[in-house]
Amino acid sequence: MLRCINPKEAHLLDFAAGVHIRFRLAGEKFPPNIYYKIFTYRPVTDINSFAPRDYTVACSATLGATVKNNKVENPNTEDLSRWYQREENNGWRLVSDRIFTSAETDSILQDSNYERKFFHYSRLQRQKDIDMKRKEKKRQWMANMYKEGKESEREPTENEMNELISWCDDLNFDSYVNNWLELAQL
């Protein structure tokens, strides 16, 4: 399928590369634009991601016994600004003959191609960051639901109260997100 969409990239990929192509509908007007993104399911090693030091700076002397054994903070704190920063260069690409006319104004192309995300070298820290983003998203969702409920405040009828109670009992953010993910993958 990629041979029809983008022959220049199709000849770079073969079965051994182990890639998936994911499609997405998006846009501000109807009919929506079709976007694609290439993912790999085979292991890829980014060597600098697990050793992101600045190798151009001379190595400092070894730490003394007082720093090592007494758990005193290291007085020689290292400047992390020159360390390796991973950049994601796999943004969404537009599948359309309108690509040359709308590439500069298409917000989805610009957001996915120019957004820089911080990538921590520690897998545990990345997982913590993902969990924190998920919790924050859930908090925002709950706050939005609460705000909408407060805005439409009036004296409810008995029937509406029963419906609201049953709706609240069935309310589950995780199933809501999973439902949207299933719909997005169809």
Burial class (CB in 10 A: 0-12, 13-18, 19+), 14: exposed
Query: How does 142-175 read in b/e, with b if 16+ C-beta sit within 10 Å?
Result: eeeeeeeeeeeeeeeeeeeeeeeeeeeeeeeeee
Q: Are strands 33-40 and 19-26 parallel, antiparallel or unpaired?
A: antiparallel
Name the more confident of 89 and 74: 89
The pair of three-digit structure tokens given for residue 13, joined into one six-digit string = 């990929």
Task: Work out the average pLDDT over 42-68.
Answer: 68
pLDDT band at 18 (very low <50, low <70, confident <90, very high): confident
Asked whether the beta carbons of 152 and 146 are under 8 A apart, the reply is no
Determine if the pTM surpasses 0.75: no
pLDDT confidence bin for 62, thresholds 50/70/90: low
Q: Which amino acid is at 8?
A: K
